[in-house]
Amino acid sequence: MKQYSDFSKIIHREGYIFIVSFAVITFLLASFSHTLGWIGFVLTIYCSYFFRNPDRFTPIEEGLIISAADGVVHRITEAIPPQELGFPEDEMIRVSVFLNIFNVHVNRIPATGKILALHYNPGKFLNASLDKASIYNERQSVLMETYGQKIAFVQIAGLIARRIVCDLEEGTEVKAGARYGIIRFGSRLDIYLPLKTAILVTEGQTCIGGETIIADFKLQKTSEPRFEKR
């Protein structure tokens, strides 16, 4: 998995080219019109804001599944996981988090474990809030083993998103809350969990990637979760 520099922990490296480009365009526009210059300045600031990459404090108690993205829990349902990952055609719990253009778009690993398989699937760019986006849209699927269970998490492109970045490698040991990729300009992230998993979020709830506890593989918590900066 690629390491992030100190500066990349402020602004994700995928944003560098956009921020520089907007800054150059703003300079050119300002030479012709103060109004156009201000418009370019606002767009440059927004671009920097979109690619922000803040630190998070991740619960590190064993058995917890953490949100892999900022956004709103759009839907919790039972669905067949991505077949390209080799899952049997049995339903799992799918928790879908929808990201709007104002959310942090850096994605984080939902649990400590081992990456077993990766699969990129080119596809359409339907509205990411639609159920069929899980099947037809461009996506990057990840299979991992954690706490003796196999789970999957999937980056899904949306109407505006045109690039999915995933820095993971098969066979890598990873930690919950670590940065692993980004989806540019609006998207969705699905997590597939075993049917008996205790889900701790509800539809409509706002999640913070790397911090919000999505589920707990233990039936009962024995203590309050501890936190570690990621």
Active-site amino acid positions: 187
C-alpha span between 165 and 182 (Å, rounded): 5
SS3 106: strand
| Tokens coding 224 | 């309050």
Q: Are 187 and 128 in contact (CB under 8 A)?
A: yes
Report the distance separating Cα 220 and Cα 14, nearest Å.
Answer: 40
- How big is the chain, counted in residues? 230
60-98 core/surface letters (b: 16 or more CB in 10 A; e: else): bbebbbbbbbbbbbbbbeebebbeebebeeeebbbbbbb
Compute the distance between CA of residue 195 and CA of residue 88 in angstroms, rounded to an integer.
Answer: 13
